[in-house]
Amino acid sequence: MSFVIYDLETSGLEPAWNVPLQAAMIHTDAELKPLGELSLRCRLPAHIVPAPAALLTTNLRPEQLEQAPLSCCEMLGIIARALQAWAPATIIGYNTLKFDEEMLRHAFFTHLMPPYATSLNGHRRADLLTMVRAVAMLEPDAISIPLGPTGKPSFKLGEICRANGIALSEDDAHDAMADTKATLALLRHLRDVAPTTTAMMLGLADKGVASRMLASRDVVLLGGLSKLTPVVGVTPNPEIATSWAAVDLTVDPADYLDLPVDEIVALFSARGVRPIRTVKTNAQPILVAYGQGCHALPEDQRDLSLYNERAARIREHADFRANLAAAMLARFADREPSPHHEATLYSGGFLSNDDGRACARWHASPWEDRPAIAAGFGDERLKAFANRLMLMEAPQSLSPIAWQKGQAWLRERLTTEADVPWLTLTKARAEITTLRQTLQVDDAARHSLLDAIERWLGERGRFFQLAA
């Protein structure tokens, strides 16, 4: 199987309300030899206000947001086609499963493309940050983990790379292609210095491997941020097969086996030692056979006979297993759904096959034909996204009334004073005020960039005031 190493630089940190602005992808063979690459930049969509802190981090000036060669929709289309052409592959980046992957999924969703493209066509998903943590726990002599300013281990990509002889300067960090090349070099390094753990973790990119380990009911070790915990898998979520509940075997099961469902729900977020853990089998969990990883446990926790006895008590307690499954269903049952379409990727239901085919037809059709296709979508979310895209990419395809409605929506989106979850012009200006207070007085370059961002935000605000 080949690999696709990638990185995104984005307009902000919240996936539902931001988009990628830069993307880099390197396709390699199974031996990590490059076969092809992409380096892409896109313009900022008109309805999104970029986070000033994100622009400071990536050193992007406002004019670059407007002068990039591609629209966001065009860039996402290139990424989607590359993922399809390079399948099957292991899709991997650094901290991608919690950030870049979510950003890409939400961007695909709002641009009428398959949201789960990195899981289709035989693709598997991995995260090099998770793999580095696994090596640090299981083979600590194989890799150097630097200490941050507070004296705690730092797992930032640039610092990990430099500590292990891989060039990635602070000036180059947060450039998508520089980060992607550094990620590839670090993956090669892990293969050289810790081949056993690296191979094990790449195997866990297949959700079936993790599911089988948990379903075996054997004692296994689950890795967190810095340590391993003996656990046993108990039950998958009845509605989400890739979400498993496992129990921490260092905790006496007598403390929770006979609890009712509502008290079991509270254990998922209990302070201190949490007896119940949720394991996402499709997110490359660190799962290690007990015999392979027990050397990394503290000596006072190497008691396999005790763990086997506790695991047996759990396996034999049918009521607890049933109550735990019910608790998994009840955890978020009272969560209010978002009224905003962008935030409903996971809560609003999967897109139908008919709508998926209609989305592909929408992208393949001339702009003048797209309003009619959009009107036929069964999912109201897709209709809203299509109208937005036509407003920003091809306003000439809209009727005069639809264009006027779109302009009113855009003005409200950017200038509202209501308490909304996305960044508005007013919120962005307030963020700049806060950022100024954190910058060194003599940091002229960053102060100059903040000045440019503030002027640009002011111009956009004045434009909409005049339009109103």
Instruction: Look over the chain and give the mean of its residue pLDDT values, rounded to a whole number.
Output: 94
pLDDT at 98 exceeding the cut of 80: yes
pLDDT in tens, 174-187: 789 999 999 999 99
**Alpha carbons 37 and 70: distance in angstroms, whole number:** 17
Quickly list H helices, 86-206. Answer: 101-110, 128-138, 157-163, 176-193, 195-203
pLDDT at 18 exceeding the cut of 50: yes
Q: Mean pLDDT, to the nearest integer, of 155-178?
A: 85
Q: Three-state SS for 288? A: strand
User: Residue 28: beta bridge partners?
Assistant: 3, 34
Q: Mean pLDDT, to the nearest integer, of 67-79?
A: 96
Q: Mean pLDDT, to the nearest integer, of 145-156?
A: 93
User: Residue 278: beta bridge partners?
Assistant: 245
Residue 429 burial (C-beta neighbours within 10 Å; 0-12, 13-18, 19+) = middle
For the record, the structure tokens of 420 come out as 């909304």
pTM for this predicted structure: 0.94
395 cis-preceded (ω within 30 degrees of 0): no
The pLDDT value recorded for residue 332 is: 85
pLDDT in tens, 109-149: 999 999 999 999 999 999 999 999 999 999 999 999 999 88
**Alpha carbons 177 and 95: distance in angstroms, whole number:** 15
Q: Which CATH code for domain 206-330?
A: 3.30.1520.20
Categorize the per-residue pLDDT at 275 as very low, low, confident or very high, splitting at 50, 70 and 90.
Answer: very high
**Alpha carbons 413 and 406: distance in angstroms, whole number:** 10
pLDDT in tens, 192-235: 999 999 999 999 999 999 999 999 999 999 999 999 999 999 99
Length of the chain (residues): 468
Q: DSSP letter string over 24-54?
A: EEEEE-TT--EEEEEEEEBPPPTT-PPPHHH
Strands 287-289, 220-223: pairing kind: antiparallel
Tell me if 148 sits within 8 A of 159, measured CB to CB: yes
pLDDT at 465 exceeding the cut of 80: no
What is the Cβ-side half-sphere exposure of residue 386, based on CA atoms within 13 angstroms? 28
Tell me if 313 sits within 8 A of 253, measured CB to CB: yes
Q: Sign of the C-alpha dihedral, residues 456, 461, 464, 465?
A: negative
Residues 6 or more apart whose Cβ sits within 8 Å of residue 382: 112, 351, 355, 358, 359, 374
pLDDT at 271 exceeding the cut of 90: no
Categorize the per-residue pLDDT at 468 as very low, low, confident or very high, splitting at 50, 70 and 90.
Answer: very low
- Would you list the domain boundaries of the chain? 1-205, 206-330, 351-417, 424-468
CA distances from 29 to 26, 36, 90, 452 (A): 10, 10, 10, 43
Query: Rounded to a whole number, what is the distance in angstroms from the first to the last CA of the chain?
Result: 55
Task: Please name the amino acid found at residue 286.
Answer: I
Residues 6 or more apart whose Cβ sits within 8 Å of residue 53: 431, 435
Categorize the per-residue pLDDT at 14 as very low, low, confident or very high, splitting at 50, 70 and 90.
Answer: very high
pLDDT at 466 exceeding the cut of 70: no
Categorize the per-residue pLDDT at 422 as very low, low, confident or very high, splitting at 50, 70 and 90.
Answer: very high
Categorize the per-residue pLDDT at 171 as very low, low, confident or very high, splitting at 50, 70 and 90.
Answer: low
The pLDDT value recorded for residue 58 is: 87
For the record, the structure tokens of 253 come out as 């099961």
The pLDDT value recorded for residue 169 is: 65
Say which CATH superfamily domain 1-205 falls into: Ribonuclease H-like superfamily/Ribonuclease H (3.30.420.10)
**Alpha carbons 101 and 162: distance in angstroms, whole number:** 25
E strand or H helix at 66: helix 62-67
Tell me if 367 sits within 8 A of 394, measured CB to CB: yes
Tell me if 388 sits within 8 A of 374, measured CB to CB: no
